[in-house]
């Protein structure tokens, strides 16, 4: 296939190039230059007046939330999405899985319509949650990285006592990682340092939420005497999300110690 007369954003710096041609072969861009001609029987599309851009990447989605993403809009973050007591886990747990799948599929179409071709999803619900998202994606032209999660959370007492991950959850994690691209941890405030250290030994992508709210930062200091972000680094994460209320010291520590 030959795309003719397109303007494009090219390379890491997204350099603007006007009116060029693009030859596609074996589903890859083989050549990009003006005055390329179409070979015999090759399909040719005139894209004059159009701009070709790389697909966008969204590195933090929760596709499962699609069923009720605005239901608790005016309440606090914890009331909306806390992994134990928030409205979100209650809704996800009690919603018919095919309804969930339908809304997840709608969100995927919405991403495609906005030019998003790759996304990284923090998928709740253990193995079942991962498989449901894979089912949704099986007929869609989207590239996904699915970060699964054990439905296992600890409270302040367990965190203070540094209670480790139970053996049956270790086994469950092994099976989970066979089905997904890594783990997406809810946050350091729901996991002891022992659990985070155990997760750090997993061989795939590791990511974690951190310092999303002033309250979460305060809770970490109250329970452990350490910042939420410093504790999150026990995971040895490839990347952290949010960091909205991270201190400058937190940010410097993350810059030195993350993999991404």
Looking at the fold, whether 135 and 65 belong to one and the same domain comes out as: yes
177, 158: one domain:
yes
pLDDT bin (cut points 50, 70, 90) of residue 64 is confident
Q: What tens digit of pLDDT does each residue of 240-249 get?
A: 999 999 999 9
Together in a domain, 40 and 118: no
Residues 38 and 156 in one domain: no
Cα–Cα distance measured from residue 53 to residue 125, given in angstroms and rounded to the nearest whole number: 35
Report CA-CA distances (Å) from 237 to 74, 117, 137, 242. Answer: 31, 24, 26, 14
Three-state secondary structure call for residue 34: coil
pLDDT at 41: 85
Tokens 């001609």, located at residue: 37
Residue 128: which CATH number? 3.20.20.140
Burial 122-138 (b: 16+ CB within 10 A, else e): bbbbbbebbbbbeebbe
Q: Which domain holds residue 38?
A: 2-52
The total number of structural domains in the chain stands at 2
**DSSP letters of 143-207?**
EEEEEE--S----HHHHHTTPPPPHHHHHHHHHHHTTSSEEEE--GGGS-HHHHHHHTT-SSEEE
Same-domain check for residues 17 and 136: no
Does 80 lie in the same domain as 153? yes
Asked if residue 92 and residue 25 are part of one domain, the reply reads no
pLDDT digits (tens, 9 = 90+) for 1-23: 999 999 999 999 999 999 999 99
Residues 41 and 66 in one domain: no
pLDDT tens-digit map of 165-212: 999 999 999 999 999 999 999 999 999 999 999 999 999 999 999 999
Angle at alpha carbon of residue 250, lines to 247 and 255, rounded to 5°? 130
């Amino acid at each position: 296939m030959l795309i003719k007369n397109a303007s494009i954003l090219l390379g890491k710096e997204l350099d603007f190039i006007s009116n060029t041609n693009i030859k596609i072969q074996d589903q890859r861009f083989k050549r990009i230059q003006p005055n390329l001609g179409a070979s015999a029987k090759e399909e040719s599309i005139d894209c004059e007046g159009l701009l070709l851009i790389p697909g966008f990447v969204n590195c933090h989605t929760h596709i499962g939330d699609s069923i009720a993403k605005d239901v608790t809009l005016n309440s606090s973050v914890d009331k909306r999405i806390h992994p134990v007591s928030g409205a979100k886990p209650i809704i996800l747990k009690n919603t018919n899985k095919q309804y969930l799948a339908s809304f997840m599929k709608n969100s995927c179409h919405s991403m495609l319509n906005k030019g998003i071709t790759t996304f990284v999803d923090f998928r709740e619900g253990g193995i079942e949650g991962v498989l449901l998202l894979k089912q949704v994606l099986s007929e869609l032209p989207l590239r996904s990285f699915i970060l699964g999660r054990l439905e296992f959370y600890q409270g302040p007492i367990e965190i203070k006592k540094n209670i480790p991950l139970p053996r049956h959850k270790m086994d469950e994690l092994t099976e989970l990682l066979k089905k997904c691209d890594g783990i997406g941890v809810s946050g350091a405030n729901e996991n002891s340092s022992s659990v985070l250290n155990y997760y750090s030994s997993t061989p795939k992508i590791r990511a974690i939420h951190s310092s999303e709210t002033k309250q979460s930062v305060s809770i970490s200091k109250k329970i452990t005497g350490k910042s939420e972000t410093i504790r999150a680094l026990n995971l040895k994460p490839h990347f952290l999300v949010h960091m909205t209320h991270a201190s400058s010291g937190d940010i410097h520590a993350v810059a030195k110690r993350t993999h991404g």
